[in-house]
Amino acid sequence: MDRYVVFGNPIAHSKSPVLHRLFAEQTGHSMQYETLLAPLEDFAGCALSFFKQGHGANVTVPFKEDAYRLATRLSPRAQRAGAVNTLSKQPDGSLLGDNTDGAGLVRDLTVNAGFSLKGKRILILGAGGAVRGALEPILAEGPTSVTIANRTVEKAEQLAELFSDLGPVAASGFDWLHEPVDLIINATSASLAGELPPIASSLIEPGQTLCYDMMYGKEPTPFCVWATEHGAGHVMDGLGMLAEQAAEAFYLWRGVRPDTAPALAELRRLLAL
């Protein structure tokens, strides 16, 4: 049976095994998918050992940049992102590194939520790896503007410069922003600490703005609660992004794209327990 894993540290909490089991059942594929706790100081050794038999792997925090360095070759989107979340063993034994995070986010917004990014004013909060992975697919959708806001403005400026050839992208501090936008994506880790990014509620156009938190949990995240309280037109957490990036990885490995809707519904049910 073909073996797949998700590498991380910590990793026991991962929902990936559930998703890939559901995808395999749905598509009639026989595969084994497990979590693998990689040592912080030796991701490469752990991964190379797995790939002696293994077929593919997802990679999560804190190893996406290690996976980028380990890959024999990179997809264009992984190259842009500077990070790899999906490794595939090729017929010659080499490792192809890809990044499905941004594609998962865009698909959740455009397909699951039916929200077109074309011509939209988009604000992204944070300037870490998650943003770097999301910028290329977002800019490919043709938004009017993308603003990256971060506590350390220099970090946002570096990202904006790096992706400026792909579309209208600018940098900002959190407190410089007051005009309403069409989409706010929270890519900071504030929700994990039960906190909010320090942004003005005037950024939300009541009944119109879509607010999206890349984080998710049993309860709505602080950002989602804030967005609802200030009249956002639509509020989403990142569970759909998780399902869509997993489906993209499954497609890369198995050549078939699973339907995420039933898997996402089951994930929501399990999360609520």
Q: Would you say 150 is a known binding-site residue?
A: yes
Are the C-beta atoms of residues 240 and 108 closer than 8 Å to each other?
A: yes
Q: Would you say 216 is a known binding-site residue?
A: yes
Q: Would you say 156 is a known binding-site residue?
A: no
Q: Would you say 4 is a known binding-site residue?
A: no
Token reading at 235: 């509020």
Half-sphere exposure of 61 (CA within 13 A, CB side): 8
Query: Please, what is the angle between helix 129-139 and helix 153-163, to 10°?
Result: 40
Q: 10 Å Cβ neighbour count for 218?
A: 8
Are the C-beta atoms of residues 133 and 187 closer than 8 Å to each other?
A: no
Question: Dihedral through CA 80, CA 81, CA 83, CA 89, nearest 10?
Answer: -60
Question: β-strands 210-213, 234-236: how paired?
Answer: parallel
Instruction: List C-alpha distances in Å: 55 to 49, 52, 75.
Output: 12, 9, 17
Q: Give the catalytic positions in this structure.
A: 64
Q: Would you say 151 is a known binding-site residue?
A: yes
Q: Would you say 60 is a known binding-site residue?
A: yes
Q: Would you say 52 is a known binding-site residue?
A: no
Q: Would you say 214 is a known binding-site residue?
A: yes
Q: Would you say 129 is a known binding-site residue?
A: yes
The beta strand positions in 9-153, using DSSP E, are 31-37, 56-59, 73-74, 86-89, 95-98, 121-125, 145-149
Q: Would you say 30 is a known binding-site residue?
A: no
Q: Would you say 153 is a known binding-site residue?
A: yes
Rg (alpha carbons) of the chain, rounded to whole number: 18
Q: Would you say 128 is a known binding-site residue?
A: yes
Q: Would you say 228 is a known binding-site residue?
A: no
Annotated binding site: 14-16, 60, 85, 101, 126-130, 150-155, 214, 216, 238, 245
Which residue positions form the known binding site for shikimate?
Answer: 14-16, 60, 85, 101, 216, 245
Binding-site residues for NADP(+), in ranges, read 126-130, 150-155, 214, 238
